[in-house]
Amino acid sequence: MGEIMKLIHTGDIHYGMNPDADKPWGKERAADVKNSISVIVSECRKREVDLLLVSGDLFHRQPIMRDIKEVNYLFSTIPDVNVVIVAGNHDRISENSSIHSFPWANNVHYIKTSDISSIFLPDINTEVYGFSYENYEIRENKLAGIKAPDNGRINILLAHGGDLSHVPFDKNELGNAGFSYVALGHIHKPQVLVDNNVVYCGSPEPLDVTETGKHGFYYVEIDDISANVINLDFIPSASVQYISLVINVSTVSTNSELLMSVSEEINRRGVNNIYRIKIRGMRDPDIEFDLSVLQSKLKIAQIIDDSEPQYNFARLCADHPSDMIGFFIQQLHRPESGIIDKKALCYGVNALLHTTEERGQA
């Protein structure tokens, strides 16, 4: 075994994005997104890596000069690390983009071409191939038929996409293209598509409530002689996690019990994390669930109440054979009803029952 070339693979940082902007913790999340670059730069310094790959969407939108200067400064603090960047669909390079004229630090290499080109880094015998977006969508597979040259170098492909609207490539074709490593961006969940070779880094910070699980970046070691990956480690780095909690209720559940269950579960999983809560099951029709008291104290981004009141429709029909309640149930209560019809039935019956009760009290 010869020398080892060490790199960190990141992307989808979305610098300048403000996740949960409408929430009390919105500014905190915006700061976390910006700080993720500092975390990555620190890890580059700590591990003494040779190369930092940024596989698109470094910025959340076409960047303004202030943001470019901030990011460039951070990269300049690791002058011994080669930084190679491509633009993704969010930070695509327009004709008048500041990216074209900006004087990047000597160690930063921005592949600005919309067709595949490469940058050779002689100090680490590595050539990085890639292209940048100039439009939001690229529906053609610009990577079709790509092959790494047999030139005695470590050849790396840096790309952004993977769905129908953004470079719909074939992962197996990329895995067989002869590259030492294929560094992918666009999908925010970290995943290895082809063993030790074709990899989505994911976003270092989760960017909305659907992005659950671990987030971070990859540390990669490549043998200089064989040009093969000999080590691939995922490094979790996110300051928080978005966590989906499913709470099951029954006809004996009360709102106080639900508050206690949710509070205990959040305390167990970490009060700094951000939660999406879904309530499921059949509840007592007289019980209403209200978690607003917890939302004022904890980071609860979303509450979805899919619970249904457990009405005895047969008994209600018998008790109301000739009024609006009985007629309404007969029209909507069918075994084949979908979720929307069932919800409409439950909400309608609930409204009619309360209207009847109010008239009786009057």
Residues 177 and 305 in one domain: no
Residues 132-179: tens digit of each pLDDT: 999 999 999 999 999 999 999 999 999 999 999 999 999 999 999 999
Report the largest interatomic distance among the alpha carbons of the chain, rounded to a whole angstrom.
90
pLDDT tens sequence for the chain (362 residues): 469 999 999 999 999 999 999 999 999 999 999 999 999 999 999 999 999 999 999 999 989 999 999 999 999 999 999 999 999 999 999 888 989 889 999 999 999 999 999 999 999 999 999 999 999 999 999 999 999 999 999 999 999 999 999 999 999 999 999 999 999 999 999 999 999 899 999 999 999 999 999 999 999 999 999 999 999 999 999 999 999 999 999 989 999 999 999 999 999 999 999 999 999 998 888 888 999 999 889 999 999 998 888 766 677 677 777 777 767 767 667 666 666 666 677 777 677 766 655 444 44
195: domain CATH number is 3.60.21.10
Residue 89 sits in the same domain as residue 198: yes
Q: 229 and 248: one domain?
A: no
What is the 3 state secondary structure string of 206-252?
CCCCCCECCCEEEEEEEECCCCCEEEEEEEECCCCCEEEEEEEECCC
**Domain match, 295 and 337 both:** no
Backbone angles phi, psi at 178, to 5 degrees: 90, 5
Q: Do residues 155 and 149 make contact, with C-beta atoms less than 8 angstroms apart?
A: yes
3-class SS of residue 342: helix
Alpha helices in the chain (DSSP H): 26-47, 65-76, 171-175, 255-269, 292-295, 313-319, 324-332, 339-361
Distance CA 34, CA 15 (A): 5
Answer yes or no: do 95 and 53 share one domain. yes
pLDDT of residue 50: 98
Q: Which domain holds residue 30?
A: 4-236
Amino acid 136 reads Y
Specify whether the CB–CB gap between 110 and 77 falls below 8 A.
no
pLDDT at 354: 66
Report the domain count for the chain.
3
Closest listed residue to residue 187, CA positions, set 199, 196, 178: 199
Domain co-membership, 288 together with 215? no
Are both 195 and 282 inside the same structural domain?
no
344 and 210 inside one domain = no
Q: What percent of the chain has pLDDT over 70?
A: 90
d(CA 137, CA 161): 9
145 shares its domain with 76: yes
pLDDT digits (tens, 9 = 90+) for 216-257: 999 999 999 999 999 999 999 999 999 999 999 998 999 999
229 with 268, same domain?
A: no
From CA 124, how far away is CA 153, in angstroms rounded? 9
Q: How far apart are CA 225 and CA 109, in angstroms?
A: 25
Q: Say how far residue 183 (Cα) sits from the centre of its chain.
A: 17
- Cβ 351 vs Cβ 316: under 8 Å: no
pLDDT at 362: 45
pLDDT value, residue 324: 79
Same domain, 262 and 332: no
Burial per residue of 186-225, b for 16 or more beta-carbon CB atoms within 10 angstroms, e otherwise: bbbbbeebeebbbbbbbbbbbbebebeeebbbbbbbbbbe
Point out which residues pair with 155 in neighbouring strands. 127
Q: Can you read off the two tokens belonging to residue 309? A: 């009141």
- 64 and 105 together in one domain: yes
